[in-house]
Amino acid sequence: MKLAVIADIHGNLLALEAVLADLDRQGVDSVVVNGDLVNRCPDSVAVLARLAPLGLPWTIGNHDDLVCKWADRSNELPSDWFDDPFWLGTAWSSARLVDDGVLTMLRNLPMTHRVAVPGAPTLLISHGSPRHYREGYDKYLPDDAIAEIIQHHPADILIGSHTHRPYLRRWGPYLVLNTGAVGTPFNRDQRAQYLLLTLRGNVWQPEFRAVPYDVAAALKRFESSGYLEEGGLSALIFYHELRLARPLYAPFWMWTEQEGVARTDEAWRLFEAQHPERFAPPQQ
């Protein structure tokens, strides 16, 4: 049996198509879509339209929840965000999902998906952790946190996403895995990435897949869709994250907090000037 877990598509249709083609080549039996289907890249509507007919299980990611809360003008979000030009990218994506009538697909998605094959280790899949969709599995997650997660959410193998980086950690008899990202990887590898698990006997064997696709064409969609022009600074940052295969949004946010400055175009230019190492070309 072969099971694929794909996640962090983030509205990148070309990356998704490359991964779906690779799933066919690998003879995958089942697929779980592990959150963050939308936002960041311009084709969120097309991604949902492509995935919906496949009847796959989805879990909720933080961006899926964000665009729903944005459309609702939820009081769970800071009220000043709705008038802040920095959030125009999210506003743009949310508006298109509403206008096309597909936002409802993202409402009420589950936090977790469990896979239990008789005689095999149990898999517990969540976008972050079962506790919160922003708690990613990576080298910074303390062993104590893993122990608490397993205690309250028992499973043999924990599978998460969210960090946009593939990851594997053995913790006693348990295995902790991160799928990496289909749409916007942050490990300096532009290829579309996902997790493939093959059940041999009673053992799940993980493989981190990385699939080449036309990144230049995906970047052009930022312009041809109008997203780059209308989505403001956040859309520009997402463009460079895709181009460079590394995180920039969160580092820029933290830098503005440290400097005590607003998240403006001028601040972004200063951030670029002070941190040229963050803008080095990605791996080829």
- Which pTM does this prediction carry? 0.97
Taking residues 185-192, report their average pLDDT: 98
How far is residue 170's CA from residue 7's CA, in Å, rounded to a whole number?
A: 21
Looking at residue 284, its amino acid is: Q
Residue-range domain boundaries for the chain? 2-211, 226-279
Q: Which is it for the CA torsion 179, 182, 185, 189, positive or negative?
A: positive
Q: What is the rounded average pLDDT of the residues 165-189?
A: 98
pLDDT of 188 over the 70 cut: yes
pLDDT classification of 284: cutoffs 50, 70, 90? low
pLDDT of residue 81: 98
Cβ atoms of residues 230 and 215 within 8 Å: no
Q: What is the pLDDT of residue 54?
A: 98
Model confidence pLDDT, tens digit, residues 246-278:
999 999 999 999 999 999 999 999 999 999 999
The tens digit of pLDDT for each residue in 126-163 reads 999 999 999 999 999 999 999 999 999 999 999 999 99
Average pLDDT over residues 56-70: 99
pLDDT at position 271 is 98
Q: Is the distance from CB of 186 to CB of 241 less than 8 angstroms?
A: yes
- 207-239 per-position pLDDT tens digit: 999 999 999 999 999 999 999 999 999 999 999
Return d(Cα 3, Cα 157) in angstroms, integer: 13
Q: pLDDT of 99-120, one tens digit each?
A: 999 999 999 999 999 999 999 9
Q: Which CATH class is domain 2-211?
A: alpha beta
Amino acid 166: pLDDT: 99
Report the largest interatomic distance among the alpha carbons of the chain, rounded to a whole angstrom.
Answer: 58
**What does the mean pLDDT of the chain come to?**
98
Q: Which residues contact 258 (CB under 8 A, 6 or more apart)?
A: none
